[in-house]
């Protein structure tokens, strides 16, 4: 049995820790069952954004008449769209594996790793020990207990990004981030999409005005306050029984996508044999240094469940690396942003207005619409806005819905990071290019 200075379980953000340890001269074992690169590279943010760009181009073509141009979308080569994404990420995954295998200090074990005790892992028929261990094994799609679901073909986000034929119709169970991103992708390319959403709003974790706007704009594609109670085959299609209040509807789709959140992969690791504690949802419990309750074992990324973003996992990996190799320091998440690459695009940071109310915060609201700026007028943007929640000059939260929301948010992030107590003043006093889209952020700051 070989002993390593460090074992890393999972090859997403966990590879950041592994690489840093190798550079310091430590012997490292990487345990990974699937292709290297983790969820983000192989079945998440990278391939989804590549295919979604095709949807954005399709939308631009359809809107050409608004700008005095005659254009139409003649054909969708759906296989080309998805192949473009998957060939790219598959090549990247192979290159990452090649890089790991080429390093004498790093050993790759392909297979599912399971704990035997606090320092010992069994993988691919081999037993290895680690003086220190980092668990970055991620999460997987949650499959709800719907009658008949195990008897019909359905997709999760993984399969939805690997299709080679555009279906005529798609039923999506779940109106969260994954549901609206993939709903946008399929719909923009010509598929009839129906989203079944349990609550009254799409993306309900967003600020109430943002969630309200996208729900209104998507009203012809969604069933609200609805629950899928049964699925069954109907010829070549899938029939979904939906309960809305006291009424029942039946929705038919050529394809079915389940997008109801994720569950951590902690149940695949035999954590109990190492004495590692999890919370009631299965996420590994960690402290502010990303340490588990077991000495010399850390956890990061989706499996720790603090934030379910790749950029937060990368941040945690940086801190875990430092905490293992040098000076111990608590993770500083402030400010932690997110973005939803749907249509319209959504981005946010900090508290939503409903959270401000729940926490009884003193706050003012500054709101500015794209259409009231020069560039917004040029884009013919009718609905988008920036909303800032502030207490004096401190930005408590910022929420954007509209073109390039994910980019515009970064202006707010830099201000918040530069000075927590003076972020609003920074936005107000910074000279903005005119007419640039960023002016809408400054105008929201002036209204706060």
434 a catalytic residue: yes
Domain ranges of the chain: 2-140+263-325, 149-260, 344-447
Residue 352 tokens read as 């939503």
Comparing CA positions, the residue from 386, 384, 383 lying closest to residue 402 is: 384
Specify the DSSP element, H or E, that contains 353. helix 353-358
Q: How far apart are CA 430 and CA 230, in angstroms?
A: 55
Among residues 184, 383, 410, 434, the one annotated as catalytic is 434
Instruction: Look at strands 139-141 and 262-264 and give their pairing.
Output: antiparallel
Percentage of the residues of the chain whose pLDDT score is greater than 90: 98
Query: Taking a C-beta distance cutoff of 8 angstroms, is the pair 403, 379 a contact?
Result: yes
Query: Taking a C-beta distance cutoff of 8 angstroms, is the pair 140, 21 a contact?
Result: no
Task: Tell me which residue has tokens 């959504």.
Answer: 346
For the whole model, what pTM was predicted?
0.96
Specify the DSSP element, H or E, that contains 17. helix 14-23
Query: Which CATH architecture describes the domain 2-140+263-325?
Result: 3-Layer(bba) Sandwich (3.50)
- 44 CB burial (10 A radius; 0-12, 13-18, 19+): buried
- Domain covering 344-447 in this structure, CATH number: 3.30.390.30
Q: How far apart are CA 166 and CA 157, in angstroms?
A: 15
Round the average pLDDT of the chain to a whole number and report it. Answer: 97
Indicate if the pLDDT at residue 196 is higher than 90: yes
Query: Taking a C-beta distance cutoff of 8 angstroms, is the pair 348, 428 a contact?
Result: no
Note the pLDDT tens digit of each residue in 363-407. 999 999 999 999 999 999 999 999 999 999 999 999 999 999 999
Residue 361 tokens read as 């915060």
Note the pLDDT tens digit of each residue in 221-272. 999 999 999 999 999 999 999 999 999 999 999 999 999 999 999 999 999 9
Show the CA angle centred on residue 190, arms to residues 187 and 195, nearest 5°.
Answer: 30
| Identical fold, 2-140+263-325 and 344-447 | no
- Domain covering 149-260 in this structure, CATH number: 3.50.50.60
| Contact residues for 235 (Cβ-Cβ < 8 A; gap 6+) | none
DSSP-assigned letter for residue 67: G
């Amino acid at each position: 049995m070989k002993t390593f200075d460090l074992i890393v379980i999972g090859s997403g953000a966990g590879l950041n820790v592994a690489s840093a340890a190798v550079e310091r001269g430590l012997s490292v074992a990487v345990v990974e069952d699937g292709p290297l690169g983790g969820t983000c590279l192989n079945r998440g943010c990278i391939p989804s954004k590549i295919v979604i760009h095709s949807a954005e181009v399709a939308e631009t073509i359809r809107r050409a008449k608004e700008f005095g141009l005659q254009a139409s979308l003649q054909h969708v080569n759906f296989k080309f769209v998805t192949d473009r994404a998957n060939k790219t990420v598959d090549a990247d995954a192979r290159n990452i594996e090649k890089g790991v295998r080429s390093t004498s200090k790093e050993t790759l074990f392909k297979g599912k790793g399971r704990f035997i005790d606090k320092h010992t892992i069994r993988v691919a028929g081999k037993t290895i020990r680690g003086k220190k261990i980092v668990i970055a094994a991620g999460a997987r799609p949650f499959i709800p207990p719907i009658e008949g679901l195990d008897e019909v073909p359905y997709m999760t986000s993984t399969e939805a990004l690997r299709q080679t034929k555009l279906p005529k119709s798609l039923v999506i169970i779940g109106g969260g981030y994954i549901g609206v991103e993939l709903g946008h992708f399929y719909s923009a390319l010509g598929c009839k999409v129906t989203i079944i959403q349990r609550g009254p709003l799409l993306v309900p974790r967003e600020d109430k005005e943002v969630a309200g706007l996208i729900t209104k704009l998507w009203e012809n594609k969604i069933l609200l306050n609805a629950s899928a109670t049964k699925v069954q085959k109907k010829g070549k299609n899938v029939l979904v029984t939906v309960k809305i209040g006291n009424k029942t509807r039946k929705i038919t789709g050529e394809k079915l996508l389940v997008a109801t959140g994720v569950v951590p992969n902690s149940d695949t690791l035999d954590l109990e044999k190492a004495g590692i504690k999890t919370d009631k949802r299965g996420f590994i419990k960690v402290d502010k240094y990303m340490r588990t309750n077991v000495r010399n074992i850390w956890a990061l990324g989706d499996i720790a469940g603090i934030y379910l973003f790749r950029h937060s996992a990368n941040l945690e990996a940086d801190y875990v690396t430092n905490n293992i190799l040098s000076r111990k320091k608590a993770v500083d998440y402030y400010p932690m942003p997110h973005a939803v690459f749907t249509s319209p695009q959504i981005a946010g940071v900090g508290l939503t207005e409903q959270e401000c109310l729940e926490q009884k915060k003193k706050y003012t609201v500054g709101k500015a619409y794209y259409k009231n700026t020069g560039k917004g007028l040029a884009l013919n943007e009718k609905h988008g806005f920036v909303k800032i929640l502030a207490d004096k000059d401190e930005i408590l939260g910022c929420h954007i819905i509209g073109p390039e929301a994910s980019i515009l948010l970064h202006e707010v992030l830099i201000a918040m990071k530069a000075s927590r107590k003076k972020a609003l003043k920074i936005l107000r006093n910074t000279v903005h290019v005119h007419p640039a889209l960023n002016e809408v952020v400054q105008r929201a700051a002036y209204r706060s």
